[in-house]
Structure formats: structure tokens, C-alpha cells
């Protein structure tokens, strides 16, 4: 069950598209373009509380985020025995290092804290995910108060 909780946090935590019109931000977009594979999820409450490898479905293509030159993004998720592909479009908007998600009518905000040509880290306050977790995983509601004030940190590597 923990795997599904973390998978949901991550799946909803990085569906995004880049947007920019000035030259300094174009360099940022050029760094971000391409396919990004989620590698690690870390829950932090003062110190890292839990670190786990992103739960890609065994035997399937690894999930990835595709950032395009036209400022759009798609997230590709693979699951099940047949490795069924689910494609999510335009679920995330970017303004500088700030990101805003609209997932199932839930607004989630985060910040890109690291961005190089090969690595990107997106951090969000765990409170951003509370309404979504309550809706999708009501059995975890009793544990959410323990994580209050914590951070979700997602690391992605460029393919």
C-alpha cells in the first residue's frame, strides 16, 4: 500500500509543462527539454524520514516525463502485466522555478530546487497533497498529521 501512496504522490507531483517567453528563461527550457525519468522519492521532516526508489512497474518501460520545445509536457506511466501505457497531458504549468499542478481538480504547488542538464529535483510541501491523498487513500488519513510540515522531494534524471 505504501508503494501506491508514494506512486500517487510522485505521479501527481511531476506532470508538468515549461512556459517562458524571455531569453533567460529560454536557457532554462533548453536545459529541461527531453525525457526525464523519476529516480527517487524522499519524504523529509527536518531530516529525511523515508527515501525510496521510484516504483517503476517491473518488466515495463520506465515511467517518464517528456518536456517539449513548444512548452508542453506529457507524463507516460506504465503499469499492469501488459505494461499498459497511460499518457497525461498539460497537467502542470511552470513559471520560473515554481510549478503549479491541476490534478483531478486539486491544486498542487512545488518548486524546482535543482536543475542541471542531467538532474532535476522538485520539492513540494506535503500539505499540497493532503486533499488528494484523503480522496485516493482514505486509510492513510490518520497518518497525515505525522507528516505535517514535511516536504516531498522528487529526483528525476534525464534519459
Tell me the three state secondary structure of residue 8: helix
Chain segment 81-93, per-residue pLDDT in tens: 999 998 887 766 7
- Render pLDDT for 1-26 as a digit per residue (tens, 0 to 9): 454 444 445 444 443 333 333 444 43
Count other C-beta atoms under 10 Å from residue 140's C-beta.
17
Spell out the SS3 assignment of 105-122: CEEEEEEEEEECCCEEEE
* CA torsion angle 33 65 41 27 (round to 10): 10
The model's pTM: 0.72
Q: What is the DSSP letter of 21?
A: -
Tally of CA atoms within 13 A in the half-sphere of 9 that contains its CB: 31
Q: What is the DSSP string of 27-73?
A: HHHHHH-EEEEEEEEEEEESEEEEEEE--PPTTSPPPEEEE-TTS-E
Q: Which of 9, 12, 6 is nearest to 86 (CA)?
A: 12
154: helix, strand or coil:
strand
C-alpha cell at 38: 523519476
Reading the block at residue 145, the C-alpha cell is 498529521
Mean residue pLDDT of the chain comes to 77
Query: Looking at residues 40-67, what average pLDDT do you find?
Result: 88
Q: Which residue has the higher pLDDT, 53 or 146?
A: 53
Residues pairing with 115 in the sheet: 120
- The CATH code belonging to domain 2-158 is 2.40.128.280
Give the residue-averaged pLDDT of 70-74: 73
Whether residue 113 has pLDDT greater than 60? yes
More confidently predicted of 103 and 7: 103
Amino acid at each position: 500500500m505504501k508503494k501506491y501512496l508514494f506512486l500517487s504522490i510522485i505521479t501527481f507531483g511531476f506532470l508538468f509543462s515549461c512556459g517562458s517567453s524571455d531569453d533567460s528563461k529560454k536557457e532554462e527550457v533548453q536545459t529541461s527539454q527531453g525525457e526525464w525519468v523519476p529516480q527517487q522519492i524522499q519524504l523529509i521532516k527536518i531530516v529525511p524520514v523515508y527515501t525510496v526508489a521510484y516504483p517503476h512497474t517491473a518488466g515495463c518501460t520506465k515511467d517518464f516525463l517528456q518536456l517539449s520545445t513548444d512548452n508542453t509536457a506529457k507524463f507516460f506511466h506504465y503499469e499492469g502485466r501488459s505494461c499498459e501505457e497511460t499518457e497525461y497531458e498539460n497537467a502542470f504549468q511552470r513559471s520560473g522555478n515554481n510549478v503549479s499542478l491541476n490534478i483531478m481538480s486539486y491544486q498542487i504547488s512545488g518548486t524546482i530546487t535543482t536543475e542541471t542538464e542531467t538532474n532535476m529535483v522538485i520539492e513540494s510541501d506535503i500539505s499540497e497533497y493532503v486533499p488528494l491523498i484523503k480522496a485516493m487513500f482514505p486509510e492513510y488519513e490518520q497518518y497525515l498529521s505525522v507528516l505535517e510540515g514535511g516536504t516531498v522531494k522528487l529526483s528525476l534524471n534525464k534519459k
